[in-house]
Chains A and B, each alone.
Chain A
Amino acid sequence: MAEDGRNFESSLPDYMSEPSGNLLELTGISKRFPGVLALDNVDFDLRHGEVHVLFGENGAGKSTLINVIAGTFSPDQGRFLYQGRERRHLTPHQARVMGISPVFQEFSLVPEMTVGENLFLGRERARFSFLNKRAMSSKAREVIAELGFNLDPARKVVTLSRAHQQMVEIAKALLTDVRLLILDEPTASLTEAETIKLFALIDRLRAQGVGIIYVSHRMGEIKQIADRISVLRDGRKIATVMADAISDTELVELMAGRKIDVLFPQVDHRPAETLLEVSNLTLASGIVRDVSFHARAGEITGIAGLVGCGKSELIRAVFGLVPIAAGTVRLFGKETTSFDPASMLRAGVCYFPSDRVAEGLALARPIRENVSMAALDLPGFARGQLLRRNEERQTVQDIVDRLRLRPAQIEPAVGRLSGGNRQKVVLGRGLARDIKVFLFDEPTVGIDVGAKLEIYELMKTLLEMGAAIILVSSELPEVLHLSNRVYVMHHAQMVAELTGAQINEQAVLACFFRDENQTAPARQAAPVPAGATVA
């Protein structure tokens, strides 16, 4: 496109003359995953030459929606009109051929190949069926120069920083003839200068009539580049608004909505002695820097933050799953020296992972074995190497009854259970031995409302028994309603500790968005080289 070198400034209002009708029109799209209705009757449209921002909390359905548009998921219901024609059973490949280019947060790059090779992955240029390396590398240089990114096409992707990998991903999306570009939090790892370049690029693409779906949490940049904003909440589209007709506060209110308070049980916090105290903790990976917090018996300590802020790595490090570079962890007043799951369990600390299939459960094994697996060193389950199977059966049956697992059987394989029941099995591990400090990592992700409530009730019971609970969650209402104190993490650091009346949505969101509002680059006219070819 733009091969004629037309003047971009003058073509800015050009999209008005694009073929009439919307580029993309979705009507009544629904998508169900086991146990979750991820998209519920969502309408969405995208015009030519428009930046349409998707806004919402984690789990609101943004990712599912862009995955439907990119052809990764096939919707269960609804109409999918693209360029005026209905498309069914779209595959990611077909979507790309039609000009839909997604840039996801999870990169699709091959680490051991060079930047140039990655750009042409799957669409290599060949002459006499040999790879035309020279043509590809000069084209790669051209595209990168055009984007204004500081990238060497000959470098291996594995040696690049996340920000640079993000640039490669964007360059890759622009290599073909793009009609619809999807950007999923593209600035999450970019510096300010790089962000300015990206926005200039977005402006140029918009001028060329490309429709852009832009997912972001950052208030500053949303206001800066959006034409329209659609707000999603709990899989439903709440509203589509013109970006210049809405204030930040209104937008946040739309996003948060009025939550059903009855969902959360009334938790009595009776803070007692400090069980866990983390001081100036820095991780080897740098994803957590100089973080201090403490947790007391008898209260829920919430840690809120956006995805990727380091909140999950923080408690994983305490449990010994991620290497620590500096800082101290004190448990029950004593400084901890051995960080590994076995020592932590013996000390009375248990971590409950967010990804239960990957890290929590042996799906092919019975419920009984999954519940007792972290307690096989205890005399209640084994005498030395010899398992006490009768005692085990009895204890696990009691735990399963207490957790109200349905059906309350202990022998079926865990793989047969629903998401909520699987989580109960993982939590059962915390009841199989004397655990004093519970580290919950996204405890209710992917489970239905009924099971959520039961897990909240379980937390309440644990508190009454004198446990300290640390609740890490991306689901803000959960943290706000259940916690006695809330820490807010942002960009690897602890930015606030909220107590009492300070614990409210606005206060937490303010911590998330504060720095973006201050540092967001001003929108500027894009300096465009003449004869620019992006495609």
Chain B
Amino acid sequence: MSEPAARAAGVGTGRAVAGFMARYGLIVALVVMEAGFAIVEPLVLSPGNLLNIVQQTSYIAVFATAQMVVILTRGFDLSLGTCVSTVSVAAALVMTGMVAANPANLPLALVMGVLTALGIGIAVGLFNGICISVLRVNAFVTTLGSFNICFGIATTISDGRPVFDVPKEFSELMYSGTILGVPAPVVIAIVVLIGIHLMLNWTVFGRSLCLIGGNPRAAALAGLPSRRYLTMAYVVCSVLAAIGALMLTARTGSGEPNLGGNVTLQSIAAAVIGGVSLRGGVGSAYAAALGALFVTALSNGMGLARIDGYIQQIILGCVIIAAIFVDRLRSGVR
């Protein structure tokens, strides 16, 4: 979306064009981009690869949705990546430990693994949320701190090594399994997206997040319980991160202490590219999903076009900055 929307707004060919690009620019850019990659490498548009893109998207979509919930409130979560690592290692340790103790305990082990993940998500979210909304430490500093705390925990409990032998039933459940022919990660991502969509549009909590992000002082004057809702936003974010962490753990079949390396940046990038405004108050599950699709398609296409991995990093960095620039333009159009 970045290039065409910027040009449309810049040339001033009319608000209608600019408005159209603000709304559908990303889809146009996605189609143009895929067409471009297809010229270099026709395999990009093969059914197998398209399915692959959709599968890959489901992970980033969950993380982008998590990030979107807090960006909506004018915050963000830098600790998302290391929270993912902590959850991955801890859940893997619980499952392998319980199965090693008594192989017959497998179902209970899986349940405990998932509960451990959710518990850690809630704890990290409460920590971030309370620091930010009650102690009024800003989101950047708070989540940078918890980024380090989570990193330390993940490394310590795993001794810095991957936790192997995660039960293969777990991977079948959350990675290779299908429901009505749809791969499990895609099902989970769709459930998450629909759930968050309903939360934002049909609950007082979700509506309040939009209003608090739109204007915190106005929300306070309207009597909204800002502190409580803000804390809950961070809890939702970290719980979604934990769900994503379980999906990734199932995919690799091991608990990885550096699983979340790129996740923070990718999730912020996907949310912003999708159209979630860093100034708060504007965002949707749809935007997070679309942004995730774009980021995934971009790296997938670059990979197939045999663009060097480090060059890919440079391009992703530029796209993020371009997306934020477009967000500025869009706020003018709106």
Greatest chain B CB density within 10 A among A319, A376, A377, A389 is at: A376
Residues from 414 to 452 in A contacting B, C-beta threshold 8 Å: 415-416, 429
Within 8 Å by CB of B219, from A340, A373, A384, A386, lies A373
* B207 CB-CB contact with A under 8 Å: yes
Inter-chain contact A374/B223, CB cutoff 8 Å: yes
* B224 CB-CB contact with A under 8 Å: yes
* B218 CB-CB contact with A under 8 Å: yes
Q: Which residues of A contact B204 (CB under 8 A)?
A: 376-377, 382, 384-387
Residue in A closest to B206 when the chains form the complex, CB atoms: A387
Task: Known A364-B281, A385-B204; judge A373-B217 contact (CB<8 A).
Answer: no
In the assembled complex, the Cα of A359 lies from the Cα of B222 at a distance in Å of: 10
* A341 CB-CB contact with B under 8 Å: yes
Q: Which residues of A contact B280 (CB under 8 A)?
A: 364
* B318 CB-CB contact with A under 8 Å: no
Residues from 190 to 240 in B contacting A, C-beta threshold 8 Å: 201-205, 207-208, 210-211, 213-215, 217-225
Greatest chain A CB density within 10 A among B204, B213, B221, B224 is at: B221
Inter-chain contact A365/B211, CB cutoff 8 Å: yes
Inter-chain contact B282/A359, CB cutoff 8 Å: no
Inter-chain contact B221/A362, CB cutoff 8 Å: no
**What is the minimal beta-carbon distance from A327 to any residue of chain B, in angstroms?**
22
Within 8 Å by CB of A353, from B207, B221, B223, B277, lies B221
Residues of B within 8 Å of A, CB-based: how many? 28
Task: Known A365-B211, A382-B204; judge A415-B223 contact (CB<8 A).
Answer: no
Inter-chain contact B334/A341, CB cutoff 8 Å: no
* A16 CB-CB contact with B under 8 Å: no
Inter-chain contact A342/B223, CB cutoff 8 Å: yes
**What is the minimal beta-carbon distance from A119 to any residue of chain B, in angstroms?**
31
Within 8 Å by CB of B215, from A362, A377, A416, lies A362
Task: Known A341-B222, A342-B223; judge A369-B211 contact (CB<8 A).
Answer: yes
Within 8 Å by CB of A389, from B202, B210, B225, lies B202
* A360 CB-CB contact with B under 8 Å: yes
Task: Known A361-B215, A364-B334; judge A376-B224 contact (CB<8 A).
Answer: yes
Q: Which residues of B contact A510 (CB under 8 A)?
A: none
A interface majority secondary structure: mixed
In the assembled complex, the Cα of A100 lies from the Cα of B221 at a distance in Å of: 41
Q: Which residues of B contact A456 (CB under 8 A)?
A: none
Inter-chain contact A341/B221, CB cutoff 8 Å: yes
Q: Which residues of A contact B220 (CB under 8 A)?
A: 341
Within 8 Å by CB of B334, from A344, A345, A382, A413, lies A413
Within 8 Å by CB of B221, from A343, A359, A377, A389, lies A359
* A512 CB-CB contact with B under 8 Å: no
Q: Which residues of A contact B219 (CB under 8 A)?
A: 362, 373
Inter-chain contact A364/B214, CB cutoff 8 Å: yes
Task: Known A376-B204, A385-B205, A389-B202; judge A361-B223 contact (CB<8 A).
Answer: no
Q: Which residues of A contact B211 (CB under 8 A)?
A: 362, 365, 369-370, 373
Task: Known A364-B334, A382-B204, A387-B203; judge A373-B281 contact (CB<8 A).
Answer: no
In the assembled complex, the Cα of A340 lies from the Cα of B223 at a distance in Å of: 8
In the assembled complex, the Cα of A413 lies from the Cα of B282 at a distance in Å of: 11
Q: Which residues of A contact B210 (CB under 8 A)?
A: 362, 365, 369
**What is the minimal beta-carbon distance from A350 to any residue of chain B, in angstroms?**
9
In the assembled complex, the Cα of A385 lies from the Cα of B219 at a distance in Å of: 17
Inter-chain contact A386/B218, CB cutoff 8 Å: no
In the assembled complex, the Cα of A362 lies from the Cα of B215 at a distance in Å of: 5
Task: Known A386-B202, A387-B203; judge A358-B222 contact (CB<8 A).
Answer: no
**What is the minimal beta-carbon distance from A298 to any residue of chain B, in angstroms?**
26
Q: Which residues of A contact B208 (CB under 8 A)?
A: 376
In the assembled complex, the Cα of A387 lies from the Cα of B215 at a distance in Å of: 20
Q: Which residues of B contact A346 (CB under 8 A)?
A: 223
Inter-chain contact B217/A342, CB cutoff 8 Å: no
In the assembled complex, the Cα of A343 lies from the Cα of B222 at a distance in Å of: 10
Inter-chain contact A359/B202, CB cutoff 8 Å: no
In the assembled complex, the Cα of A14 lies from the Cα of B221 at a distance in Å of: 57
* A321 CB-CB contact with B under 8 Å: yes
**What is the minimal beta-carbon distance from A34 to any residue of chain B, in angstroms?**
15
Within 8 Å by CB of A415, from B203, B225, B334, lies B334
Q: Which residues of A contact B222 (CB under 8 A)?
A: 341, 345, 373-374, 429
In the assembled complex, the Cα of A345 lies from the Cα of B224 at a distance in Å of: 11
In the assembled complex, the Cα of A179 lies from the Cα of B224 at a distance in Å of: 52
Inter-chain contact B203/A373, CB cutoff 8 Å: no
Q: Which residues of A contact B217 (CB under 8 A)?
A: 358-359
In the assembled complex, the Cα of A416 lies from the Cα of B15 at a distance in Å of: 13
Residue in A closest to B282 when the chains form the complex, CB atoms: A364
**What is the minimal beta-carbon distance from A401 to any residue of chain B, in angstroms?**
22
Residues from 391 to 418 in A contacting B, C-beta threshold 8 Å: 413, 415-416
Residues from 251 to 290 in B contacting A, C-beta threshold 8 Å: 277, 279-282
Greatest chain B CB density within 10 A among A351, A369, A384 is at: A369
In the assembled complex, the Cα of A413 lies from the Cα of B214 at a distance in Å of: 11
* A532 CB-CB contact with B under 8 Å: no
Inter-chain contact B334/A359, CB cutoff 8 Å: no
In the assembled complex, the Cα of A360 lies from the Cα of B218 at a distance in Å of: 5
Within 8 Å by CB of B225, from A342, A361, A374, A387, lies A342
List, sorted by A's number, 6 A–B pairs whose CB atoms are closer than 8 Å: A341-B223, A365-B281, A373-B211, A373-B222, A385-B203, A386-B203
Residues in chain B within 8 A of chain A (CB atoms): 201-205, 207-208, 210-211, 213-215, 217-225, 277, 279-282, 331, 334
5 nearest A-B residue pairs (beta carbon): A362-B214, A342-B223, A374-B222, A341-B223, A362-B215
List 12 additional A-B contacts (Cβ < 8 Å) besides A362-B215, A374-B223, A377-B204. Answer: A340-B223, A345-B223, A358-B215, A360-B218, A360-B221, A364-B280, A365-B211, A369-B210, A373-B218, A373-B219, A385-B203, A385-B205
